[in-house]
Amino acid sequence: SHELRTPLTVIKGYTETLLDEQNWQDPKMAERILTIIDKEAERLSRLLKDLLDLSQIESSKGVMKKQKVDLKNVVEEAVSLLRGHSEAKNLEVNLIIHGHELRNIWGDPDWLLQMFIDILENAIKYTPQGGRIEIKLQEKGKELLAAVKDTGIGIPARNIPYIFERFYRVDKGRSRRLGGTGLGLAIVKHILEAHGGHVTVESSVGVGTTFSVYLPLAPVAV
């Protein structure tokens, strides 16, 4: 697809510029060109990782390594892995837990971590400096609800039905500046499906967004 071809074209084009026109003899010019090549190579490698993740989940739906997982630990790990990003933007990140016992779900901890990283990464990326992110864990019937709420730019209602599609991004220009490929939520959707879970999105432009992730609770006996 063109998402893969674009960074390759850029890399190829600039490499040729550097070789053909002997631009490498001008160190400033060479540095500028190499910086672009480096950035595009980085984007390409991220894109390939995401695509490999997606095809792996799709082909192995039944064989996730499922076990009893305390979702609080998973969420805490995601928050701490992304702390550098949230602190760089001066965002307040709070984890709120309702109840103590029943936050165990049946799932693959690695994929669940990946899922919360993707959702939290978005909350951080699409929330302006000084904003707030709140993650609430709460039992809802036979499911555990993990709600990730941000005070970010929001998503227009007409775009919400498409955000879980591969490569879909609400504002192409802005999203490109912020980096990323538009695969994060496609991966989230697949991981959730493999866990028998589901997600709902509520958003208000300029106010914020809440992703509500529902996962089946682990049977009490296990």
- What does the binding site for ligand ATP look like in residue numbers (CB under 6 A)? 50, 118, 122-123, 126, 150, 152-155, 163, 168-170, 175, 180-186, 209
> By CB under 5 A, is residue 184 in contact with Mg ion?
yes
Q: Which does 113 bind (CB under 5 to 8 A by kind): ligand ATP, Mg ion, none?
A: none
Nearer to ligand ATP, 53 or 108 (CB): 53
Assign 78 to helix, strand or coil: helix
Contact mark string toward Mg ion, 30..69, x via CB under 5 A:
----------------------------------------
Nearer to Mg ion, 104 or 127 (CB): 127
Query: Any residues with CB less than 8 A from the CB of 164 and at least 6 apart, and which?
Result: 185, 186, 188, 189, 199
Q: What is the rounded distance in angstroms from the CA atom of residue 104 to the CA atom of residue 152?
A: 29
Least CB distance to Mg ion at residue 188 (A): 9
User: Which residues between 127 and 166 bind Mg ion (CB under 5 A)?
Assistant: none
Under 8 Å between Cβ of 215 and 102 = no
